[in-house]
């Protein structure tokens, strides 16, 4: 695992958007694992600009998203399908048939199995983008005494529900369950890029970059075992955790 410290969050997003642009240019039919949450939004904005400027062509790219809430349809403005369409897919030249976000409605077990088959289809993702939860969760693999390798249904922790309540009208509207890629699915990606910013992420990032401990209580720490994982943090966050490059 490698840590990159940038001068600002905007610079972090530019660095990561640049990595994705370069990968797509090198391998036009690549497979990207994509993430939701507030953190990647400026990365997607930059990719839209690059696509409009003719710097990158998404016409042959396939994508699979990390996760989706259980119980809300893809048309709901807080579903991750809606997020991906409005923050990225609707604005770039990707074929939406080549984009996959797990279904949040119907038979959740079957939806998780379908996500697992999409993770495997065509081989491992060339790049998996990740944010991180305040408790160190990645995708929706929650801090717990155990982790699950494959796609599954996860019960969200109080910490995650509280953090994600800002996107909903009221906390009670936040779904309590989600379908998520498992830890093995994420670790199988050829390259994993985790982006974090903001002081709420200090405890999680401290556990990730400041020691060699791997713990299920901070799922992100599994990335320490990935030989091609990159953590991109800005100076403000690096200083707050005491990380020196």
Q: Which residues are catalytic?
A: 67, 135, 137, 142
Whether residue 29 contacts residue 137, with contact meaning beta carbons closer than 8 Å, is answered with no
Per-residue string for binding with ligand GLP, 89-118, x by CB under 6 A? ------------------------------
Cα gap 198→149, rounded to integer Å: 28
For position 35 contacting ligand GLP by CB under 6 A, the verdict is yes
Residues 138-197 that bind ligand GLP (CB under 6 A): 139-140, 160, 164
Tell me how far, at minimum, the Cβ of 197 lies from ligand GLP, in Å: 8
36 in contact with ligand GLP (CB under 6 A):
yes
Buried/exposed code over 21-48 (b: 16+ C-beta within 10 A; e: otherwise): bebbeeeeebbbbbbbbebbebbbebbb
Q: Find the binder of ligand GLP among 33, 37, 42, 175 (CB under 6 A).
A: 37
**Are 156 and 162 within 8 A, CB to CB?**
no
Nearest distance in Å: CB 241, ligand GLP:
16
Counting other chains too, the contacts that 86-89 makes at CB distance below 8 Å and 24 or more residues apart are 87/41, 87/44, 87/45, 88/34, 88/44, 88/47, 88/48
131 binds ligand GLP (CB under 6 A): yes
Chain residues in the site for ligand GLP (CB under 6 A): 35-39, 66-67, 131-133, 139-140, 160, 164
């Amino acid at each position: 695992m490698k840590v990159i410290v940038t001068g600002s969050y905007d610079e972090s997003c530019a660095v990561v958007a640049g990595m994705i642009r370069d990968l797509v240019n090198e391998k036009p039919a690549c497979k990207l694992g994509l993430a939701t949450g507030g953190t990647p939004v400026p990365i997607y904005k930059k990719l839209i600009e690059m696509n409009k400027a003719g710097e990158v062509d998404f016409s042959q790219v396939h994508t699979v998203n990390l996760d989706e809430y259980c119980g809300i349809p893809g048309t709901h403005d807080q579903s991750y399908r809606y997020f991906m369409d409005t923050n990225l897919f609707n604005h770039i030249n990707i074929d939406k048939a080549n984009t996959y976000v797990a279904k949040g409605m119907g038979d959740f077990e079957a939806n998780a199995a379908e996500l697992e088959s999409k993770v495997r289809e065509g081989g491992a993702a060339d790049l998996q983008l990740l944010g991180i939860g305040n408790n160190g969760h990645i995708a929706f693999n929650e801090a717990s005494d155990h982790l699950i390798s494959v796609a599954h249904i996860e019960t969200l922790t109080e910490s995650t529900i509280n953090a994600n309540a800002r996107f909903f009208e009221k906390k009670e509207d936040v779904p309590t369950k989600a379908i998520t890629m498992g830890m093995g699915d994420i670790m199988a990606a050829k390259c994993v890029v985790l982006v974090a910013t903001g002081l709420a992420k200090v405890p999680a990032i401290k556990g990730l970059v400041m020691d060699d401990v791997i713990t299920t209580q901070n799922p992100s720490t599994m990335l320490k075992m990935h030989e091609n994982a990159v953590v991109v943090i800005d100076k403000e966050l690096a200083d707050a955790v005491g990380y020196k490059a």
